[in-house]
């Protein structure tokens, strides 16, 4: 993978979260409203211009902002649905970059359920759907 395509992949997690959050009725597709909300939650100064740059992929979020975007997204109904979403959420919650295709994920589902107010089953089902979409373990 060349560095240009790798750079593009690095910002996709925050891009999808920003687009999801901005589309919620609480923000009315306003990056300024989203920035105010995130500033209030984090105690840091975030402006709409920075959010706009991140949404376009021209800037990347620091780990603390990715974490807040993920928590806010979960609370507004976002569920990880792609391999990259799952890799990013595992990295944010555990602090480790690890394979999402092995091991027991019940603790991860519990953490996501606690953060979102949903049941663990929602995340287990989303994980299974992602595995099917990724064709994991199948010869194609």
Q: Where do we find the tokens 């997690």?
A: 13
pLDDT value for 1: 37
Is residue 96 very low, low, confident or very high in pLDDT (cuts 50, 70, 90)? confident
On the question of pLDDT at 132 being above 60, the answer is: yes
5-19 confidence digits (pLDDT tens):
334 455 789 999 999
Q: What angle do helix axes 106-116 and 63-75 make, rounded to 10 degrees?
A: 70
| 25 contacts: CB under 8 Å, gap ≥ 6 | none
Residue 130, CA distances (Å) to 3, 51, 106, 134 in order:
26, 27, 16, 6
Residue range 120-131: mean pLDDT, rounded: 94
Domain extents for the chain?
1-78, 79-140
């Amino acid at each position: 993978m060349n560095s240009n395509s790798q750079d593009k992949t690095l910002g996709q997690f925050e891009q999808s979260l920003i687009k999801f959050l901005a589309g919620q009725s609480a923000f009315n597709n306003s990056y300024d409203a989203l920035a105010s909300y995130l500033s209030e939650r984090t105690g840091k100064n975030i402006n709409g211009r920075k959010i706009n740059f991140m949404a376009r992929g021209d800037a990347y979020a620091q780990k603390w902002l990715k974490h807040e975007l993920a928590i806010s997204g979960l609370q507004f109904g976002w569920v990880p649905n792609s391999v990259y979403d799952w890799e990013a959420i595992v990295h944010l919650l555990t602090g480790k970059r690890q394979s999402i295709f092995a091991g027991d994920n019940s603790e991860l589902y519990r953490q996501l359920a606690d953060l979102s107010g949903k049941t663990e089953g929602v995340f287990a089902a989303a994980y299974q759907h992602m595995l099917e979409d990724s064709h994991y373990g199948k010869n194609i």
